[in-house]
Structures are given as structure tokens and as C-alpha cells.
Structure 1
Amino acid sequence: MKSVTIKLNSINDVKQFVNIVSKYDFDVDLVSGRYIIDAKSIMGIFSLDLANPIELEARGNEVDPLIDELEPFLVK
């Protein structure tokens, strides 16, 4: 499992994020407080408080290509 912090600033960011994450077969979750949402669910993402950064947890053997592709959304 790999964990990174992301920030989604607009509706277009959310759409682009879901399109990227949906290409991968392993589980990807977003954690905000006590809520855990499937990162492939656009409706689930919109139920989160997007004003704050969100923790992304990717569970798979080869998650590095996903993290590389999500570079524009990563909080440093």
C-alpha cells in the first residue's frame, strides 16, 4: 500500500482524477477524517470536503505509475 496526499480544486480536476484512477485494476481509496471513499466513484468524491487535502491510499503491487500520473494533484 502507498499513501499520498492530494488536492482536487475543481470539478474538472475531479473528472480528470477519476479518469486516471479508473484505468488501474487495484483498489484506490480516499480518506477524509473518518470517511473512506472509493476513488473511482465521482459521486463519492463529491460527498467529501474538497476544501482540504485528502489522503489517497493505493493498494496494489505496481502503484508507482498511478502516483506518477497523479503528479498534478499531489500536495508537497
Structure 2
Amino acid sequence: MKSVTIRLNTINDVKTFVNTVGKYDFDVDLISGRYAIDAKSIMGIFSLDISKPIKLDAHTDNADAFFAEIKDFIVE
């Protein structure tokens, strides 16, 4: 499993992010406080406080292409 912190600033960011995550067959979770939701669920993401950075857990050992595709959302 690999983890990063992401930020989704706009509704279009959320839509783009969900479409990107949906292309991959491994599980991706978003964790905000005590809530963990499926990153492929647009409704789940909107249930989180997206004004703050969100922890992302990708449940795979080979996520290089995935992280390259979502690099614009990753917070250093």
C-alpha cells in the first residue's frame, strides 16, 4: 500500500479525479479524520471536507502510473 496527501479544490477536480481513479482495478481509499471512503465514489468524496488535504491510500504495490496521472492533486 502506498499513501500520499491530495487536495481537490473544485468540483471539476473531483470529477477528473474520480474518472482517473476509476481506470485502475485496485482499491483506493480517501481518509479524512475518522472517515474512510472509496475514492471511486463521487458521492463519497463530497461527503468529506474537501477544503482540507485528504490522505489517499492506494492498495497496490505497482502504483507508479497511477501516481503519475494524479500528480496535479498531490500535496507535497
RMSD of aligned alpha carbons:
0.5
TM-score w.r.t. structure 2 length? 0.98
Matched, 1:67 2:67: yes
Once the 2 structures are TM-superposed, how far is the Cα of residue 61 of structure 1 from its aligned partner? 2.8
| Partner residue in 2 for 1:20 | 20
Contact 2:26 2:60 in 1 (8 A): yes
Once the 2 structures are TM-superposed, how far is the Cα of residue 29 of structure 1 from its aligned partner? 0.3
* Equivalent residues, number: 76
Counterpart CA distance in 1 for 2:61 and 2:51 is 31
Kindly provide the CA deviation profile for residues 31-69 of structure 1, in whole angstroms up to 9, marking residues without a partner as x: 000000000000000000001000000001311111110
Long gaps (5+) in structure 2: none
The letter of the residue matching 1:73 is: F
Taking only the aligned residue pairs, the percentage that are identical comes to 66
Following superposition, which runs of at least 4 residues in structure 1 exceed 2 angstroms of deviation? none
Q: Find the residue that maps to 1:45 and give its secondary structure.
A: helix
Long gaps (5+) in structure 1: none
TM-score w.r.t. structure 1 length? 0.98
Counterpart CA distance in 2 for 1:30 and 1:6 is 9
